[in-house]
A and B are shown apart, each in its own frame.
Chain A
Amino acid sequence: MLAKRIIPCLDVKDGRTVKGINFEGLRDVGDAIALGSQYAREGADELVYLDISATREGRSTFTHLVTHIAEEIDIPFTVGGGISTLDDAARLLDAGADKVSINSAAIRNPNLIDEIASKYGSQFVVIAIDAKLIEGHWLATTHGGSRPTDKELFAWAHEAQERGAGELLFTSMNHDGTRQGYPCDTFARLAEHLHIPIIASGGAGSIDDIADVLTHGRADAALAASIFHYGEIPIPVLKQALNEKGIAVRR
C-alpha cells in the first residue's frame, strides 16, 4: 500500500541551517546535509530544504549546497525559496533536486507553473500556498502571512493543479507555529477539490495532530520542522505510533 509520508523541513540561510535547529554543533554549511542524512536514516520519507537567504550570494551558496545534498541523501528532496523563473528551477534540477516548491512567485506569475511543469513534468513542481483565514475566507498570502492576496485558497489550488502543479503544500498561517494541530476540515475540503497529493504543513504539536491530518484531513503527507529539530518527536517514534493507529507508513 502507498505509505503516508513524513517530511522534515530544514530552513537554510546563506548555506547554513537556521531556525529551530537545536542540535549541538550543527552550525556549518555541511550540517544541513548531516541533519538531512540523519533524518533519512531515521526514516524520513522525503526532505524539504527551504532557502531563506535574501541575497544573490546566499542563493548561489544554496545551489552549491543542493549539489552536495543530492550526493549524500538517498531519498527524494524538494527545494524551495526564491524560485521565480524557469532558469531558477533548471539550475536546481541540474544540481540534483527532485522537486521545486514555488510560492509567491507563482502568485505574481501563475504562468511559471505551466512553464516549469511543461518543461520538466508535473512531478517536479510543488505549489506551496500559505493561506490565512480572514473573515471566513481562506486567502493566499505572501511575506510569511503578512500580506493577503486576492487569491482564494481553493480556487488558487485548483488553478495551480490545472496549470500543472504535481503536489500542493498547504500551510495555514493561522495554525503555523501554534502547535495546536492542523485545520483538518480545510485539508479534507482541499482533498475533495483536488486530485494531486496534498502535504500538510504548519501547526503540528503532537503525534495525534499528525495522525488526524493524515486520516480526517486526508492529507498524503505531513511536513514539520520544530518537533523534529528539537527532538520532541523522533521520527521512529512517530512512525511506530502512526502504524499502531493503522496508518500505512514506511518503516
Chain B
Amino acid sequence: MIAIVNYDTGNIRSVTNALARVGCTDWVYTDDKRLLTTADKVILPGVGEASTAMAKLAERGLDTLIPTLTQPVLGICVGTQLMCQSSEEGNAECMGIFRTKVRKFQPEKQQDGQLSIVNCTLSIEKVPHMGWNQITNLRTPLFNHIDDGAYIYYVHSYYPELCDDTIATSHYINAFSGALGRDNFFGTQFHPEKSGSVGAQILKNFLEL
C-alpha cells in the first residue's frame, strides 16, 4: 500500500490519477502516523507556499516522523523542498533530509542589451519556470530506463541547489537539482504525474524500489 501524506495542501487527484495509470490503485491519503510508518511506500505531495506547508506538517507532528521513515519515500515539488534543509520561501526551516537549500530563481532583468540570444530566439528567462525541460546526470534506480536529456514538466519559482544528493540536474537561469536522493528518500522538483510517458516510468520505478 502507498501512503500519500495528507497535510491539507490541496488537490492530490493528479497524483492518484497518475498512480492509477501505472496500475497502482492501492493507496491511502492519510496523516495517521501508524499508517505512514507501515505503508510500503510514502509519497509527500506538495502545493502552495513552503513555510505554510511546513507548518502544516509540524501541526501533525509529521516533520519529525518523516525523516525517521525507512521505506522508500518520494517527495514531489514543494514536498521535495520540505525535505531539504531550508527554503527561502517564507524563510522556512525544513526537514533536512537532503543536504541542500532551496533558493528563489532570480529572473533576468528585461532591459535593452541584456537579452540573451538562444537558438535564434530572443529569450527572457521568466519566473516561474514553467514547462518542459531536460534532466541530465541521472543517478539511482529512480531513473531506470530514462534517457539522459529526457524532458519532464516543471512549475516552480524556487529550486533546490545542486549538492551531493543531486540525482538529476536541470538548467534554468542556473543549474539546480531536478531530483534528489539519499538512502530511502527521493524527491523530484518536477511533476512526474504530468510528465507523459517519462513521468509514468519514473513513478513505476519508484513503485518497484
Contacts and interface: CB of A to CB of B under 8 A. Distances in A.
Interface of A: 1-5, 40, 45, 70-72, 74-76, 93-94, 96, 98, 121-123, 166-167, 188, 191-192, 195-197, 214-215, 218, 220-221, 245-248, 250-251
A74 B132 contact: no
Interface stretch (B36-44, B120-128, B158-166): B120-128
B117 to A, nearest CB: 11
Interface residues of B, number: 40
Given A70-B14, A247-B120, A250-B132, 13 more contacts: A2-B129, A45-B132, A96-B11, A96-B13, A98-B14, A121-B48, A166-B130, A167-B130, A197-B131, A218-B122, A246-B119, A247-B119, A247-B121
A195 B14 CA distance: 28
Contact of A74 (B47, B119, B130, B194): B194
Interface string B8-21: 00010110011011
Q: Which 4 A-B pairs have the closest CB atoms?
A: A250-B151, A250-B132, A3-B132, A246-B119
A195 B120 contact: no
B116 to A, nearest CB: 11
Interface of B: 11, 13-14, 17-18, 20-21, 47-48, 107, 110, 118-134, 151, 153, 155, 171-172, 193-197, 199-200
B134 A1 contact: yes
Most buried by A among B21, B130, B171: B130
B104 to A, nearest CB: 15
A40 B199 CA distance: 13
B121 A214 contact: yes
Nearest to A74: B196
A218 B120 CA distance: 10
Contact of A75 (B47, B155, B196): B196
Contacts of B200: 74
